[in-house]
Protein backbone atom coordinates (compact mmCIF):
# COMPACT_ATOMS: atom_id res chain seq x y z
CA UNK A 1 0.00 0.00 0.00
CA UNK A 2 1.06 3.60 -0.63
CA UNK A 3 -0.08 7.10 -1.40
CA UNK A 4 -2.21 7.83 -4.50
CA UNK A 5 -0.94 10.67 -6.69
CA UNK A 6 -3.23 12.37 -9.27
CA UNK A 7 -1.82 13.98 -12.43
CA UNK A 8 -3.73 15.90 -15.10
CA UNK A 9 -2.63 15.73 -18.73
CA UNK A 10 -3.26 19.14 -20.34
CA UNK A 11 -3.20 19.64 -24.13
CA UNK A 12 -3.66 23.15 -25.61
CA UNK A 13 -4.98 24.41 -22.29
CA UNK A 14 -7.58 21.67 -21.98
CA UNK A 15 -7.50 18.73 -19.62
CA UNK A 16 -7.20 15.68 -21.78
CA UNK A 17 -7.21 13.07 -19.00
CA UNK A 18 -6.46 12.41 -15.35
CA UNK A 19 -3.99 9.72 -14.29
CA UNK A 20 -3.90 8.19 -10.80
CA UNK A 21 -0.55 6.68 -9.74
CA UNK A 22 -0.11 4.62 -6.57
CA UNK A 23 3.24 5.13 -4.86
CA UNK A 24 4.64 2.06 -3.14
CA UNK A 25 6.45 2.69 0.16
CA UNK A 26 9.84 0.95 0.18
CA UNK A 27 11.19 -0.07 3.62
CA UNK A 28 14.90 -0.13 4.15
CA UNK A 29 16.36 -3.46 5.36
CA UNK A 30 17.53 -3.51 9.00
CA UNK A 31 21.16 -3.81 10.06
CA UNK A 32 22.68 -5.02 13.33
CA UNK A 33 26.20 -5.15 14.77
CA UNK A 34 27.13 -7.05 17.94
CA UNK A 35 30.50 -6.78 19.70
CA UNK A 36 32.20 -8.36 22.72
CA UNK A 37 34.37 -6.00 24.76
CA UNK A 38 34.13 -3.56 21.85
CA UNK A 39 35.43 -6.06 19.27
CA UNK A 40 33.73 -7.92 16.43
CA UNK A 41 35.59 -10.95 17.77
CA UNK A 42 36.41 -13.64 18.30
CA UNK A 43 37.89 -12.48 21.61
CA UNK A 44 39.60 -14.48 24.36
CA UNK A 45 39.08 -13.85 28.07
CA UNK A 46 40.37 -15.52 31.22
CA UNK A 47 38.41 -18.48 32.48
CA UNK A 48 36.06 -17.35 35.21
CA UNK A 49 35.83 -13.75 33.94
CA UNK A 50 33.15 -12.11 31.83
CA UNK A 51 32.77 -10.02 28.67
CA UNK A 52 30.42 -7.18 27.81
CA UNK A 53 28.17 -7.71 24.80
CA UNK A 54 27.03 -4.52 23.06
CA UNK A 55 24.89 -4.14 19.96
CA UNK A 56 23.37 -1.48 17.75
CA UNK A 57 20.83 -1.71 14.93
CA UNK A 58 19.08 0.49 12.41
CA UNK A 59 15.66 0.23 10.69
CA UNK A 60 14.71 -2.43 13.26
CA UNK A 61 11.67 -2.60 15.52
CA UNK A 62 12.59 -5.69 17.58
CA UNK A 63 15.55 -7.96 18.30
CA UNK A 64 15.85 -11.51 19.62
CA UNK A 65 18.89 -13.25 21.13
CA UNK A 66 19.92 -16.83 20.38
CA UNK A 67 22.91 -19.09 20.86
CA UNK A 68 24.21 -18.88 24.42
CA UNK A 69 21.70 -16.19 25.37
CA UNK A 70 18.02 -15.84 24.64
CA UNK A 71 14.93 -13.70 24.80
CA UNK A 72 13.81 -10.35 23.44
CA UNK A 73 16.39 -7.56 23.42
CA UNK A 74 16.13 -3.82 22.80
CA UNK A 75 17.26 -2.60 19.38
CA UNK A 76 20.47 -1.39 21.03
CA UNK A 77 22.02 -2.12 24.39
CA UNK A 78 24.71 -3.86 26.43
CA UNK A 79 24.80 -6.90 28.67
CA UNK A 80 27.38 -8.94 30.57
CA UNK A 81 27.96 -12.56 29.61
CA UNK A 82 28.46 -13.50 33.24
CA UNK A 83 31.35 -15.67 34.37
CA UNK A 84 32.52 -18.02 31.58
CA UNK A 85 34.55 -21.21 31.78
CA UNK A 86 33.92 -22.40 28.20
CA UNK A 87 33.64 -20.69 24.79
CA UNK A 88 30.28 -19.16 23.92
CA UNK A 89 28.63 -17.82 20.78
CA UNK A 90 26.10 -14.98 20.89
CA UNK A 91 23.71 -14.19 18.03
CA UNK A 92 21.19 -11.38 17.75
CA UNK A 93 18.49 -11.17 15.07
CA UNK A 94 16.73 -7.87 14.43
CA UNK A 95 13.48 -7.45 12.51
CA UNK A 96 11.91 -4.46 10.80
CA UNK A 97 9.49 -3.57 7.99
CA UNK A 98 12.30 -4.21 5.52
CA UNK A 99 13.11 -7.75 6.69
CA UNK A 100 15.45 -9.33 9.25
CA UNK A 101 19.18 -9.58 9.77
CA UNK A 102 21.51 -11.40 12.19
CA UNK A 103 25.00 -10.92 13.57
CA UNK A 104 27.12 -13.06 15.90
CA UNK A 105 30.21 -12.82 18.08
CA UNK A 106 32.30 -15.54 19.73
CA UNK A 107 33.89 -15.32 23.18
CA UNK A 108 36.67 -17.81 23.77
CA UNK A 109 38.06 -18.76 27.17
CA UNK A 110 41.77 -19.01 27.80
CA UNK A 111 43.86 -20.31 30.66
CA UNK A 112 43.67 -18.54 33.99
CA UNK A 113 46.37 -15.90 34.16
CA UNK A 114 48.08 -15.60 37.54
CA UNK A 115 48.05 -12.18 39.18
CA UNK A 116 51.13 -10.02 39.54
CA UNK A 117 51.87 -7.23 42.02
CA UNK A 118 54.69 -4.70 42.36
CA UNK A 119 55.08 -2.42 45.38
CA UNK A 120 57.56 0.44 45.64
CA UNK A 121 58.62 2.97 48.29
CA UNK A 122 59.41 6.45 46.96
CA UNK A 123 59.46 4.91 43.47
CA UNK A 124 62.04 2.25 44.36
CA UNK A 125 61.82 -1.50 44.80
CA UNK A 126 63.92 -0.88 47.91
CA UNK A 127 65.26 -1.17 50.43
CA UNK A 128 65.26 2.59 50.87
CA UNK A 129 66.50 4.67 53.78
CA UNK A 130 64.70 7.70 55.19
CA UNK A 131 65.36 10.02 58.11
CA UNK A 132 63.87 9.13 61.47
CA UNK A 133 60.54 10.88 61.96
CA UNK A 134 59.79 11.18 58.23
CA UNK A 135 57.63 9.11 55.90
CA UNK A 136 57.85 7.42 52.51
CA UNK A 137 55.26 7.08 49.77
CA UNK A 138 54.15 3.53 48.94
CA UNK A 139 52.85 2.87 45.43
CA UNK A 140 51.71 -0.36 43.86
CA UNK A 141 50.29 -1.86 40.68
CA UNK A 142 48.87 -5.30 39.89
CA UNK A 143 47.44 -7.28 36.98
CA UNK A 144 44.85 -10.07 36.76
CA UNK A 145 43.87 -9.26 40.35
CA UNK A 146 40.49 -8.51 41.87
CA UNK A 147 41.53 -7.66 45.45
CA UNK A 148 44.63 -6.87 47.49
CA UNK A 149 45.45 -7.17 51.21
CA UNK A 150 48.19 -5.27 53.04
CA UNK A 151 50.31 -6.80 55.81
CA UNK A 152 53.50 -6.13 57.74
CA UNK A 153 53.94 -2.42 58.45
CA UNK A 154 50.39 -1.73 57.23
CA UNK A 155 47.14 -3.69 57.07
CA UNK A 156 43.70 -3.94 55.56
CA UNK A 157 42.19 -4.10 52.07
CA UNK A 158 43.72 -2.04 49.27
CA UNK A 159 42.74 -1.21 45.70
CA UNK A 160 44.50 -3.24 43.00
CA UNK A 161 46.60 -0.14 42.29
CA UNK A 162 47.22 3.03 44.26
CA UNK A 163 49.55 4.99 46.49
CA UNK A 164 49.64 6.26 50.06
CA UNK A 165 52.17 7.64 52.55
CA UNK A 166 53.52 5.63 55.43
CA UNK A 167 53.20 6.88 58.98
CA UNK A 168 56.10 8.89 60.42
CA UNK A 169 58.72 6.22 61.02
CA UNK A 170 61.31 5.83 63.76
CA UNK A 171 62.18 2.19 62.99
CA UNK A 172 62.51 -0.10 59.98
CA UNK A 173 59.29 -1.34 58.37
CA UNK A 174 58.46 -4.04 55.83
CA UNK A 175 55.36 -3.33 53.74
CA UNK A 176 53.82 -6.38 52.05
CA UNK A 177 50.92 -6.62 49.63
CA UNK A 178 49.15 -9.80 48.50
CA UNK A 179 46.82 -9.59 45.49
CA UNK A 180 44.29 -12.28 44.57
CA UNK A 181 42.53 -13.12 41.32
CA UNK A 182 40.89 -16.03 39.47
CA UNK A 183 44.36 -17.37 38.63
CA UNK A 184 45.72 -17.41 42.18
CA UNK A 185 47.61 -14.94 44.36
CA UNK A 186 50.89 -13.02 44.31
CA UNK A 187 52.81 -11.06 46.94
CA UNK A 188 55.50 -8.40 46.97
CA UNK A 189 57.25 -6.43 49.71
CA UNK A 190 59.40 -3.35 50.13
CA UNK A 191 61.65 -2.36 53.06
CA UNK A 192 61.83 1.17 54.42
CA UNK A 193 64.88 1.49 56.66
CA UNK A 194 65.35 4.15 59.36
CA UNK A 195 68.90 4.59 60.69
CA UNK A 196 69.39 4.81 64.46
Give pLDDT, residue 48. 83
- By C-alpha distance, which of 122, 182, 126, 117 is closest to 150? 117
What is the structure's pLDDT at 111? Answer: 77
pLDDT value of position 1? 47
CA–CA gap between residue 101 and residue 86 (Å, rounded): 27
Residue 102: per-residue pLDDT: 97
Cα end-to-end span (Å), the chain: 95
pLDDT at 25: 59
- Tell me, yes or no, if the pTM score tops 0.85: no
pLDDT along the chain (196 residues), means of 10: 60 65 72 96 87 96 96 96 94 96 95 90 96 97 95 96 97 97 92 94
| pLDDT value, residue 36 | 96
CA atoms within 13 A of residue 100's CA, in its CB half-sphere? 10
β-pair partners for 66: 91
Distances (CA, A) of 73 to 40, 62, 83: 19, 7, 20
Beta bridge partner(s), residue 192: 128, 173
Amino acid sequence: AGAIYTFEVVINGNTACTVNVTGIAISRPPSVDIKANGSDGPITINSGSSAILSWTSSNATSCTASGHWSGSKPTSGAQSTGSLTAPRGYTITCNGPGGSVSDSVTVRVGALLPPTVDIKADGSDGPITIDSGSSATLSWTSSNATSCIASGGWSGSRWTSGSEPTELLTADRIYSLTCNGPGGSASDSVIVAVPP
